[in-house]
Structure 1
Amino acid sequence: MRREYGVDLARIVAIFMVFLIHNLWNGGVLEETYKSRAFFSMWYIENLGIVAVNMFAMITGYLMATRKINYERLFNVVVQTMFWSIFIVFACIPFVEKITLGNILENVLSIFSVRYWYVNAYIGMLLMAPFLNKGMQHLSELYLTKLIVGFLIVACTLGYVDGWFLLSGYSSFWLAIMYMVGGYLKIYKPLQKIQTKYLMTLFFVMPVAYLVGEFYVSEMGYGPLRIISYNSPWVFVQSVALFESIRRFKLPDSKGRFVAGLGSLTFGAYIINGSYLYDLLKNQLEWVKSYNPVQQLLWVLGITTIMFLGALVMEFTRMQLFKRCGIDKLIHSVFVGIENRFHKLVILFVRQRDAEL
């Protein structure tokens, strides 16, 4: 089967959007923008980028729904996260005076912290993936459709107001629902009759509608973020529209292989962006607000592009280093050893249980 390079492109777009919304919010561009000339332009960009988390989970479901889950990938994610979080915080020590022991411990134990909430939620989603795959592969189309629609209705209503403890989408359960949506799009292709131009129009127009809502919520003294969250119904629809649009992109193999190569670096780039560098970014882009909206947009997109490309280069360097130094083989050997011991423990448990019965 020919590789769908559009999916690789969607992965790149999703992680670029993560960088974008981090720069807008953590960088200080969005703070105190209410009733300023930056409000509509910058919050519109935020509303476009908010789909990143949903898209990445859908991409995972789209690619893995019909495959056997390889848990070595999960182990590699843990190693990758620990490497970058530890390496970056120690690399910053000579240059940053305010690094504390708490900062160091938080990064050494990053896999257990809120810092990498998405990695934690992603691991939880992957642990559920074999069960999700079995369901998607064996349930009828009608039953699976009812199940997914039911999940979405509850998650985007009760879950939206946090009545289902989805934490505004910051949870493994929400990512699992997005995983199922991605798998459903892969298996049944329910949107294939809708033209791409309509999907893209939906993606760009919907943020305008809830931009108005964000403004009036701010008028009432609340923050604009009360309107948007990962599991809000409009953000979900917007996420599906963008993913399906980009997925359809056709690329020749020469360009497609390059895009696929970049796509393989994106998760590492996300980890780099969420490391101690995220703390250093705090309010560092407030100066952007002194420019007019067009200049603000150009500055934010330019800075985000440079940061994104820099993170891709760093991850590419790490991958080459691990490969040439044999670290990849060592990680594989460690995983195989853990897997074999776990397998033996499970067999021992099952045999002991059978003996008792």
Structure 2
Amino acid sequence: MNIVKSQRDYAIDLLRIVSMLMVPMVHILGQGGILAAAVPFSIQYESAWLLESFLLVAVNCFVLITGYVYYGKETKYYHLLTLWAEVLFYSIIIIIALKFMVPNEIGLEHYWKSIIPTFFTKGQFSRYWFFSAYVGMFLLSPFVNLGLKHFDKKQDLTVFLTLFIIFSLLPTILNQDQALNLNQGYSILWFVVLYYTGGIIHKYEIFKKFKTYKWALIYIVCMLLSWAIRFVLESVGLIEPGFALYSFNCYSSALYFVGGIALFCVFKNINITKSSVISVIKFFTPVCFGVYLIHNNMSLAHFYFDGRFEFLASMDPISLVIGVILIGLGIFVACSLVDWVRELLFRALKVKSRLAKFEKNVYSKFNNYLNLNS
């Protein structure tokens, strides 16, 4: 067995891959129409929701990773610009392709909204909400990093508990998933909370507080509780059954917050040294974001994804779950292969290094301007 030693944390990369693998599955269940088509309280309905419950931590884990990785580091905005370049690349390429595929459905507004997709948040143009929230969080990250750098343990604990209670625990208990403009976790504010939490995990090495199996148990219990509470609330008529996210089944839920932290710590405690595994991780890590951008493109998904998987709702529970997993895996692999073409193109064009140079030049000119006027 070949052993590879590296400073890179491949366990975090693996979590990034697994989280992105979960995302298409969540979309298959939701936008794909399964949760809406399944008969409430049927075994198919409950099986679909149980699977959904275990998958919904994906977004939280993604943002926790960002907070963890960027802890103690200077904010480099070219990273954000590189991601934005990917968004623009797929938005424009896909809308042009759709013009040939469904010419009567694509108008001038589609081109305009494809150029600046992060500024449109209604209807089919809300697909890139994650990136929109991520942009806002990234811009605010220097201030969060400053706090993480200077706060002592007591101050960090106070801030963390305050954020948890106000923005997660109380809205969950009071069933107010729209409270404080959290919008069920689809917001910049919630991403900032997650970013800060990721930094806390890194700063105090929270993942070492329990053994891996205990973190895994916390994750499982939180997800089962979320499913069970939704089931009880629907059964007694306190909430309407159907495809909807409640305070116990949304990103900002206390259960998904704690469950996401637990799953993060499970992966952080994994020691990956086998070269073959590392090779697979290295292949998929750079193209993870592309999987999201391709399969959930605002226009492509509108025409070719929404409601396309309703047929799984009529299958037996095992076939339903296996179907979601296999289709999600297929989408992940297919989009990854497509995004490798984009990755190779960006490398050939030196997009990242050019943007890094651009950022450096802007900072240099700005500093010169400040020195001249001081």
Provide the TM-score with structure 2 as the length reference: 0.87
Unaligned runs of 5+ in 1: none
Contact kept, 8 Å, 2:272 with 2:278, in 1: the verdict is: yes
Q: Which residue of 2 aligns with 1:285?
A: 309
The AA in structure 2 aligned to 1:289 is A
Which of 189, 198, 212 is the matching residue for 1:173? 189
Q: Which residue of 2 aligns with 1:18?
A: 23
| CA RMSD in angstroms, aligned pairs only | 2.2
**C-alpha distance in 2, partners of 1:138/1:343?**
25
1:187 Cα shift? 1.4
Which of 136, 160, 163 is the matching residue for 2:179? 163
Which of 110, 113, 127 is the matching residue for 1:106? 113
Aligned to 2:308, the other structure's residue is in SS state coil
Unaligned runs of 5+ in 2: 1-5
1:197-240 superposed Cα distances (whole Å, 9 cap, x missing partner): 12212222332222222223334152452231111111111111
Tell me, yes or no, if structure 1 residue 206 matches structure 2 residue 211: no
**C-alpha distance in 1, partners of 2:353/2:262?**
40
Tell me, yes or no, if structure 1 residue 58 matches structure 2 residue 64: yes
1:2 Cα shift? 2.4
* Change in CA separation of 1:200 and 1:339 when aligned onto 2, cut-off 3 Å: same
The AA in structure 1 aligned to 2:154 is L
**C-alpha distance in 2, partners of 1:67/1:330?**
21
1:334 Cα shift? 5.1
The AA in structure 1 aligned to 2:267 is I
Tell me, yes or no, if structure 1 residue 146 matches structure 2 residue 158: yes
Please show how residues 257-296 of structure 1 align to structure 2 within 5 Å: 257-275=279-297, 276-279=299-302, 280-296=304-320
**C-alpha distance in 2, partners of 1:178/1:234?**
14
Which of 30, 37, 41 is the matching residue for 2:43? 37
**C-alpha distance in 2, partners of 1:246/1:82?**
32
Please show how residues 62-101 of structure 1 align to structure 2 within 5 Å: 62-97=68-103, 99-101=105-107
Q: Which residue of 1 aligns with 2:245?
A: 225
Tell me, yes or no, if structure 1 residue 7 matches structure 2 residue 27: no
* Change in CA separation of 1:111 and 1:207 when aligned onto 2, cut-off 3 Å: same
**C-alpha distance in 2, partners of 1:127/1:209?**
35
Q: Which moved more, 1:291-300 or 1:184-193?
A: 184-193
**C-alpha distance in 2, partners of 1:290/1:177?**
39
The AA in structure 2 aligned to 1:274 is N
Tell me how many residue pairs correspond in the alignment. 350
**C-alpha distance in 2, partners of 1:195/1:237?**
16
Which of 258, 262, 278 is the matching residue for 1:256? 278
Q: Which moved more, 1:240-249 or 1:106-115?
A: 106-115
1:103 Cα shift? 3.4
**C-alpha distance in 2, partners of 1:150/1:230?**
18
Contact kept, 8 Å, 1:9 with 1:247, in 2: the verdict is: no
Q: Which moved more, 1:103-112 or 1:65-74?
A: 103-112
Q: Which moved more, 1:259-268 or 1:115-124?
A: 259-268
Contact kept, 8 Å, 2:78 with 2:352, in 1: the verdict is: no
**C-alpha distance in 2, partners of 1:153/1:289?**
37
1:289-347 superposed Cα distances (whole Å, 9 cap, x missing partner): 221000111111111001011111111110101222455555555555655565566x2
1:180-205 superposed Cα distances (whole Å, 9 cap, x missing partner): 11111111113413121122122223
1:63 Cα shift? 0.5
Contact kept, 8 Å, 1:159 with 1:166, in 2: the verdict is: no
Aligned to 1:151, the other structure's residue is in SS state helix
**C-alpha distance in 2, partners of 1:239/1:28?**
25
1:106 Cα shift? 2.7
Q: Which moved more, 1:12-21 or 1:262-271?
A: 262-271
1:158-200 superposed Cα distances (whole Å, 9 cap, x missing partner): 4541331111111111111111111111111134131211221
The AA in structure 2 aligned to 1:258 is V
Tell me, yes or no, if structure 1 residue 247 matches structure 2 residue 268: yes
Q: Which moved more, 1:93-102 or 1:263-272?
A: 93-102
